[in-house]
Structure 1
Amino acid sequence: MQKIILASQSPRRKQLLEWAEIPFEIVVKSTEETYPEDLPIEEIPIHIARQKAIVVTETITKMVKLSQEPKIILAADTVVVLGDKIIGKPVDRQDAIDILISLSGNLHRVITGVVIQQGDQEIAFSDITSVQFHELTKQQIEFYVDKYKPYDKAGAYAIQEWIGVVGIKSVSGDFYNVMGLPVSRVVQELEKLKRKELKE
């Protein structure tokens, strides 16, 4: 498979691409993760992922020769949604505790928006996974927050860590989507892109 550009510094996305044995390099440029207020929730992570991809594409275009084949850019953004409210990354310890208290015993959705760009071609989609937590005690929540410090994670947790092992009752959908990338769908879309290139 052609080497791609991952427009993300997430160690989870890096790990998933490595597990899928997709060759890649990381190029990240800071972007404002903003979106129109009237945008449907399912489209918000796609919108933010597209912003990431566009900035990296502009950067890469300046670096490569015009004669070279356009690079494949992969960008993603993940949001955690409880009811109709997006839950972002916690700002501090108390915020992380409060977030996990709100998720305890409840069903929430994890939505990852993915954008794959190559030249003037774009593939964009979102993947939704439903996650049901057991009722968590305050002691469990505080233990997790203090030991794992999930301040860089939307929803204040990582499913592959202790809280996922002991606290999650069920997962409906792609498990790896909750980690930050629906990697099997990404592989399928990259294969489609490759086949299209071969036909042309």
Structure 2
Amino acid sequence: MRLILGSSSPRRQDILKQINIDFTVRKPHVDETQIKTTNPIEKVSALSKLKAENIPFESTDDIIVTADTVVSYNNIIFEKPKSREEAFTMMRALSGQTHEVHTGVLIRSKDKQTSFVETTQVTFYPLTEEEITRYIDTEEPYDKAGAYGIQGLAAPFIKKINGDYYNVVGLPIGRLMQELKSFSHKGRDLS
């Protein structure tokens, strides 16, 4: 089997490298605005499917994995902030609250396809305006759903999580590896 990661996310790549998995990156080129749903679970499911459909098979051994992650609070999706003001608004909303991080994952081979959504609850400590301002003055919030990176400078904001930490980073690796077991064939796997 040859694992193809359909994502340009350096965080997803780092997670796979951390567990010593060989993979190739192929970035899907899709218009994410065509997915109109405001339901966070439906959105990540639809986006991971759209990305997977955009990556052609190059070999019968290809296993394509695509993913999409959103943060939601009170059922409102917080995507990557487009401005400093938007980042500030998101961080202020998450301050002292519990929100959800949803990652939709789709796995497909030539003859099989499966998908799932992993959800993790994240609780922030209350944040001062000064803490938020200092954080959004860095580059970190702007390429991350919900305007924060749990694995980076926002780590001190996290009071607790309920669920998979790696899901919050962007790839629920434990669940992914369990699902990939059913894609092994002829005694070959990804290791």
Q: CA RMSD in A?
A: 1.5
**Cα distance in 2 for residues equivalent to 1:36 and 1:121:** 27
In structure 1, the partner of 2:183 is 193
Letter in 2 for 1:5: I
Matched, 1:114 2:105: yes
Letter in 1 for 2:160: S
The alignment partner of 2:143 has SS state of: coil
**Cα distance in 2 for residues equivalent to 1:32 and 1:71:** 24
**Cα distance in 2 for residues equivalent to 1:119 and 1:40:** 30
Letter in 2 for 1:75: T
Letter in 1 for 2:86: D
The alignment partner of 2:82 has SS state of: coil
Any gaps of 5 or more consecutive residues in structure 1? none
Question: Which whole-Å deviations, capped at 9, do the CAs of 1:70-115 have from their partners, x for residues lacking one?
Answer: 4110000001000111111111111111110011011100000000
The alignment partner of 1:12 has SS state of: helix
The ranges of structure 1 where at least 4 consecutive aligned residues each deviate by more than 6 angstroms after the TM superposition are none
**Cα distance in 1 for residues equivalent to 2:46 and 2:140:** 28
In structure 2, the partner of 1:172 is 162
**Cα distance in 2 for residues equivalent to 1:185 and 1:22:** 15
Q: Is the 8 A contact 1:113 1:125 kept in 2?
A: yes
Q: Which has the higher helix share?
A: 1
In structure 2, the partner of 1:88 is 79
Q: Is the 8 A contact 1:3 1:22 kept in 2?
A: no
Letter in 2 for 1:11: P
Question: Which whole-Å deviations, capped at 9, do the CAs of 1:151-200 have from their partners, x for residues lacking one?
Answer: 11110000011212x11110000000000000011111112211xx238x
Question: Which whole-Å deviations, capped at 9, do the CAs of 1:24-44 have from their partners, x for residues lacking one?
Answer: 01011310113253x743222
Q: Is the 8 A contact 1:29 1:55 kept in 2?
A: yes
- Report 1:152-163 matches (<5 A): 152-163=143-154
Any gaps of 5 or more consecutive residues in structure 2? none
In structure 2, the partner of 1:181 is 171
Letter in 2 for 1:124: S
